[in-house]
Amino acid sequence: MFAEQKDTILETIRLAKEREEARIAYEAENGPKKWGVYLPEEKALNEYLLTVEREVVEVLEVLMLLGRNDERRKEGLTPEENYLELQQERYHHHPDQLAAVYYLTGKRPLHKFIEDGLEYLGVVL
């Protein structure tokens, strides 16, 4: 599972970790990040995801949602069944690639949510 998306998933996790670390460092020095302050690490993550196929961005979104909390995990379904059902439900949920990327990158800590989603599915990349 996710063999074709492995490199993209790992790169997204790496960039999201860098973004989170940069934001923590920024806020330690400057206080809460204000609207309109755009860190280079945020830009790098957004720009990378805009180059990724939309279907892969949607895979990342489903992983993030499964890892974010238990509300997306339906009882009576295996983790893989939950993934497939949520993937079908979220297919082209956003009007375009930009909206899908901004939805995804609006979540903190994105890297942890994706890693937790992979763990829930029992996937090791």
What's the rounded mean pLDDT across residues 43-72? 94
Angle, in degrees to the nearest 10, between helices 6-30 and 54-68: 60
Q: CA-based Rg of the chain, rounded to a whole angstrom?
A: 15
Q: What is the pLDDT of residue 36?
A: 87
Query: Residue 64 domain-assigned?
Result: yes
Q: Is 68 domain-assigned?
A: yes
Q: Hunting for tokens 């059902």 — which residue is that?
A: 85
Flag whether 23 is in a domain: yes
Say if residue 91's pLDDT is above 90.
Answer: no
pLDDT reported for residue 71: 82
* DSSP per residue, the chain: --TTTHHHHHHHHHHHHHHHHHHHHHHHHHSSPPTT---HHHHHHHHHHHHS-HHHHHHHHHHHHHHH-GGGS-TTS-HHHHHHHHHHHHTT-SSSHHHHHHHHHTSTTHHHHHHHHHHHHT---
In a domain, 1, yes or no: no
Contact 83, 118 (CB under 8 A): no
Residue span of the structural domain in which 91 resides: 6-121
Mean pLDDT estimate for the chain: 94
pLDDT tens digits, 58-88: 999 999 999 998 788 888 999 999 999 999 9
The band of 46, judged by pLDDT with boundaries at 50, 70 and 90, is very high
How many independent structural domains does the chain possess? 1
Give me the mean pLDDT over the 12-22 stretch: 98
**Domain contains 39:** yes
